[in-house]
Amino acid sequence: MGAAIEAGPVLAVVLAIFVLLAAAVVWRGGLGSGRGVLIAAVRAVAQLAAVSVVITAILRSGWWTAGFVAFMFAVASFTTYRRVKAPGGWPWFAAAIAAGVAPVLALVLLPGVVPWKPIIVVPIAGIVIGGAMTATAQAARRALDELKTRHGEYEAALALGFMPRAAALEICRPSAGYALVPGLDQTRTVGLVTLPGAYVGMLLGGASPVQAGVAQLLVLIGLLAAQSVAVLATVEFVAASRIRW
């Protein structure tokens, strides 16, 4: 029997139970809309089914692969914009994510650390883009909320002679930095608490534990670098009123 998880009725039932449990807990616990959980699960099924159909064709061509990575980046930027809902902020969210993603992908691809093979490039790019997206959205929301809540302190800093950017940074920068906490915790506890997806996926694919560990280390530290740059860029854009509050 192989190590792969087999699709079938049992898996479908288990997934349905997970979704209903999560939706019920969110709804009954007053944590939000249970409908949102159901919609997210249905979208995940539909989107993964679609990707599974087209991914074979995409991975046969370098150009199609580049286009798919660009599509992932566009979706990440738009998702961040919708999550934060800052007026006119979409280009700046895209710039913040790109600031984190571009140097990381360049450093792993250009020197040949990661082979230029679509089957490798797509998942690594997806992980880095997804991590930068999450960090950017969290940093922006924290920074904007902090500036709105502590607007009096911002005005006081201006009265003391601070320039607007410096005053905004004093208020929002510490809170926005908390967006890095999940990535830091994941990196600190890898192998002790969690075995992340890249590691498990490579093991299931037949790689040795050492090969899987090296790949996971590259992904984790690269992701941490991407998120750090993305959060810094986001804070600067908020402080400069590019992402308006």
Instruction: Quick: pLDDT tens for 63-94.
Output: 888 888 999 999 999 999 988 888 777 899 99
The pLDDT value given to residue 232: 93
> What pLDDT, on a 0 to 100 scale, did the predictor assign at position 204?
62
What is the pLDDT at residue 225?
A: 94
pTM for the model:
0.79
Residue 100, number of CB atoms within 10 A of its CB = 29
Question: Per residue in 135-176, pLDDT tens?
Answer: 999 999 999 998 888 888 888 888 888 898 888 888 888 888
| Interval 115-126: pLDDT, tens | 888 888 888 899
Residue written as tokens 């922006």?
Answer: 140
User: Both ends of the chain: CA-CA distance in Å?
Assistant: 56
Average pLDDT over residues 218-227: 90
What pLDDT score does 122 carry?
86
Confidence of residue 197 (pLDDT cuts 50, 70, 90): low
Secondary structure tally for the chain: helices H, strands E: 10, 0
Cβ–Cβ under 8 Å, residues 131 and 227 = yes
Mean pLDDT (the chain) is 85
- Fill in the amino acid letter for 147: L
- Crossing angle for the helix pair 90-109 and 118-149, nearest 10 degrees? 140
Kindly provide the residue ranges of all beta strands, DSSP E only, lying in 51-178, ordered along the sequence: none
Query: Does position 195 have pLDDT exceeding 70, yes or no?
Result: no
Q: Mean per-residue pLDDT for 81-109?
A: 90
Classify residue 99 by its DSSP letter: H
Checking if the pLDDT of 3 tops 80, the result is no
Give the integer Cα–Cα distance in Å for 32 and 25: 9
CA 158/CA 152 separation, integer angstroms = 10
Tokens representing residue 120 in the block? 């490798």
CA 156 to the chain's CA centroid? 35
Which pLDDT does position 113 carry in this prediction? 84
Q: Is the pLDDT at 1 greater than 50, yes or no?
A: no
- pLDDT tens digits, 175-188: 888 888 888 888 88
How far apart (Å, rounded) are the C-alpha atoms in residues 83 and 74? 14
* Mean pLDDT of all residues in 218-238: 92
